[in-house]
Every structure is written in structure tokens, then in C-alpha cells.
Amino acid sequence: MKPILIIEDEQALAATLGSICRRMGCDARLCFSGQRGLEAASHEAFSLAILDIGLPDISGLDVLKTLRAHAPDLPVVIITAHGSLDNAVAARKLGAAFYLVKPLDLSEVQETLRQALAVAPATPAGASQPVSLLVGAAPALQQSFTEIAHACTSDAPIIITGPTGTGKTLTSRIIHSNSPRHAGPFVALHCSALPESLLEAELFGHEKNAFTGAATERCGHIERAEGGTLFLDEIADISLGIQAKLLRLGEERTFNRVGGREERRGDCRLITATNKDLREEVKAGRFREDLYYRLHVLEIVMPALRERRSDIAGLARYFAGQLAPNRSVELAPETLRLLERYDWPGNIRELRNAVEHALTVASGNTLLPEHLPRELQAANASPRQSEREFGLALSSWLDARLAAGAAYKEMHDELEALALRHLLSRFHNKPTVLARETRMNRVTLRKRCELLRKILAEG
């Protein structure tokens, strides 16, 4: 029977973990403090250790350091009730094989223990670099923390997925600064911001006279990232031609500058990000399948802010302190309730902007609902309140148009044009999508859009 050391101060949980171990055919030694766990480890040889970070006498991370010093080959599974990115990264850097967050799923625990017994322990990494703050304790973010921690101790390609504004760039910087390549450069390129020809030259560099305006040779982002990390944001937007060249870099670590014949080597870690579903892009023929699998060695999924509403209050307070360090800012309870009800299509970036707006317009140090952006207030208003506010605005507008002598048809067309303009913006200015989603005849919509353009031109 393989002996397993369980260091957990919650006796009921320790007993449950012991039962799982015994069901797996292993022997379990329960220790309810860090000191007792270390004493047991110094006298017995264990096949696996299960270690809680929040122990009453010694930090679990300090226990892990000591275990590593005395038993470097011992696989360790970390469990914690307060998952944070700092703890996850620190545990992985100290060689923990797995990192689990309470409340524990017992079937997941059993599978994790089975894997931990079957694999060699992680090799402890060098001294940790400071972790950039990625704030949050919501369950939806805990899996992301674990994925980031694994990425920090690897040199494999990574793809970070998630909606816009969820912190993908910040995540890539955290991984770089805590990776074995942290002493090298971190070079970022936003792929969708450049046309294809310019993107290729920026990425691979170019030789002198490679194209009009190339008066001198220039190294690209790959060469600038030598020995470090190359982060490519919105990777789904690059052309198939550039994808083929990027595949060669990923597989052979070689590339050519634009207009160049010399084969060059590129020693950089690739981290990519996208807000699109790359599997669907592959099916649609817009993204190479072989490149997808080359980049998809590790995936980190960043959840939308609406999936982690319990983090919103903490994030808002953090941003307030960060943006106004010399003010003792408080957020009124009704402000926090309003923030937590909102859906945040722009995610964390939108929340930060909302807090910055409130700090700008608030004369005092208490942020009230009226200090938040109008669109946020309107989205959170009750249907009756929204209808009342719209009625007042419409009444004022009608008074102004009647005073100007406008006819009914003229007012009708202007109101319809206004509605169309707002609807189009919600469907990315694509009339065909708007027609489908609102069940409107496409020919009719096309005519109404012509009306919109005419009114805007006259206005």
C-alpha cells in the first residue's frame, strides 16, 4: 500500500481525504498541523503528500519548501480555501504537482491523486518574480489561476482565450515575468491592428529595399523577442499566408525576413490570444488546423466578468484605490449593487473605465450611482423607470420639433432613423444580422437604412 501524507487542519476534510486514499488502495497518515506533518515526513517515506496552504501554525507554502528540501522527489498536491494567483504560481514554482481549490469535488480529488501518483514531481523553478495583480476569488477564475500557474513553469506555446477586456494581455505578462524566460524581453503585437503587408514586416522584419519605403533593413518582433516571450494578440485575424510562416517558426524555430533569403533562428516563447473560437475558425477554413494544434499546447480561458460577479465589488474598490491613491474613496452600497447587476459587455476594462468616470465627476469621496456612466445607469434601471425617463426625453424632443414646425411624417422618420442607428450599433453595423435577429424583411430594412443615411446627411 502506497503511504500518503495528508496535512490538513480541518479534521472532517482530512478524514474524507483519508477515505479516498484508502479506496484507492493506499495508506493515509493524517496530520492536523504543519509541524506534525513535517515531523511525519522526516521519519517516514511517503509516495504522495496532500497539503493545505492555510494551516494554523505554519504557512503551507513554507511546509512545501521544507518538504522539497528533505524529499525533492515527493509529489505534492496543494489544496486551499482561498485560491489566488500568487499562491498558485508560488506552489507551482516550489514544485507542487497539482493545485486544487475548496470546496473540493471528491471525484476530481480522486482523479488528481491518481495522476499525482503516476507522474514525476514538478521541478522547482528559480526565484519568483512579482506577480502582477490579477484580482479575483470567484470560482470561475480559480481554474484560470491554476492554468496560469502551470504555464509559468513551462516553455510550451500558450493560447489565451476569452472575451475582449478580460485581461488576456495582463495574463501574458504575468506568465512571462514568472517564467524561466523572465530575464528576456516581452514583446507584444496586436495582429488585427495592422494590414497584412505591414503585419508581416513587423513580425518577421524586412531587408533593405524589400518593398517601397524600406530604405534600411529592420528586425521584426521575433528577433526583438529573442530569449524572451512573443505575445500575439488577436491571432485569429492573421492571414493564411502569415499563418504558414508562423507555423514554421513554431515547429522549426526558423524564419526569413521579408525580402530576405537568409534563414534565421528565432528563440522565443509564443503566447497568443483571441476572443474568437479557433475551433470554429478552423472548421470555416480561416485558420490552419496544424497551426491551431501547434499553438494549443496549453490553453488558459479567461472568464467574462458576468461569470464572476462576486469579484466586482473587490475589483471596483481596487480600481478606485489605484486610480485615486490620494483620496479615501468609498463606493456606496447602492453603487455596488448597481455594478453587480450590470452585464459588463466590455468586462474588466469597462469596469475600470466606469470607476474612472465616477472618480472624475464625483466631488466628494463617496461614489454614488449618479456618478457612473449614463449607459450603465440606464441598463440597470427598472423597466418602469426606463420607460418614464424615455417618456420625459421624448416629450422634450417632441416639444422642440413641434416648435420648429416639423410635420408628423418628418418626426416619425427621424425617430425611426434614431432607432435604426442604435439597433445597428448593437449588431456591429451589419444590416443582414439586424434583419435576421429582429425578423425584419431585408428589402424593407435596406430602404429604411437609406432613409437613415439621408437624415444623417441632412442633419
pLDDT tens digits for range 404-422: 898 998 898 888 888 888 7
Query: For residues 168 and 127, which has the higher predicted lDDT (pLDDT)?
Result: 168
Distance CA 404, CA 398 (A): 10
Least confident window among 75-89, 121-135, 434-448: 121-135
pLDDT above 80 (res 1): no
Same domain, 219 and 115: no
386 falls within a domain: no
148 falls within a domain: no
C-alpha cell at 374: 449614463
Output the domain CATH number for residue 335.
Answer: 1.10.8.60
pLDDT band at 101, cuts 50/70/90?
confident
419 falls within a domain: yes
What pLDDT, on a 0 to 100 scale, did the predictor assign at position 131?
46
393 falls within a domain: no
163 falls within a domain: yes
Average pLDDT of the residues in 158-186:
91
pLDDT above 60 (res 147): yes
Same domain, 191 and 115: no
Same domain, 436 and 374: no
Same domain, 125 and 60: yes
* Dihedral of alpha carbons 107, 113, 119, 125, sign: positive
What pLDDT, on a 0 to 100 scale, did the predictor assign at position 386?
55
Q: Which of 250, 270, 301 is the last residue of a domain?
A: 301
What pLDDT, on a 0 to 100 scale, did the predictor assign at position 355?
95
Least confident window among 71-85, 160-174, 405-419: 71-85
Average pLDDT of the residues in 444-457:
73
149 falls within a domain: no
Classified as helix, coil or strand, 230 is strand
What pLDDT, on a 0 to 100 scale, did the predictor assign at position 371?
94
For 304-326, how does the pLDDT look when each residue is reduced to its tens digit (9 = 90+)? 998 888 889 989 998 998 899 88
What's the total number of domains in the chain? 4
Output the domain CATH number for residue 24.
Answer: 3.40.50.2300
C-alpha cell at 375: 449607459
Same domain, 82 and 208: no
pLDDT band at 22, cuts 50/70/90?
very high
Same domain, 195 and 169: yes
Q: Within its chain, how far is the Cα of 370 from the centroid?
A: 30
Q: Give percent of the chain with pLDDT exceeding 90.
A: 49
- For 286-398, list the strands marked E by DSSP: 298-301, 330-331, 366-367
What pLDDT, on a 0 to 100 scale, did the predictor assign at position 46?
92
Same domain, 114 and 40: yes
What pLDDT, on a 0 to 100 scale, did the predictor assign at position 249?
94
Distance CA 171, CA 157 (A): 14
Same domain, 17 and 102: yes
- Is this model's pTM higher than 0.75 or not? no
pLDDT above 60 (res 124): no
Same domain, 99 and 161: no
> How many C-beta neighbours within 10 Å does residue 257 have?
22
C-alpha cell at 130: 512579482
112 falls within a domain: yes
DSSP secondary structure string for all residues of 355-379 = HHHHHHH-SSSEE-GGGS-HHHHHH
- The dihedral region occupied by 25, where left means phi > 0, alpha psi between -120 and 50, and beta the remainder, is left
Q: Is there a contact between 344 and 324 (Cβ–Cβ < 8 Å)?
A: no
Which domain, by its residues, includes 341?
309-380
What pLDDT, on a 0 to 100 scale, did the predictor assign at position 83?
66
Q: Which of 256, 282, 301 is the last residue of a domain?
A: 301
Order of strands, edge to edge, in the sheet holding 76-80?
Answer: 27-31, 3-7, 48-52, 76-80, 98-101
Output the domain CATH number for residue 158.
Answer: 3.40.50.300
What pLDDT, on a 0 to 100 scale, did the predictor assign at position 458?
62
Taking CA atoms, 10 is separated from 52, 81, 101, 190, in Å, by 9, 11, 14, 48
204 falls within a domain: yes
* 311 burial via Cβ count (<10 Å: 0-12, 13-18, 19+): buried
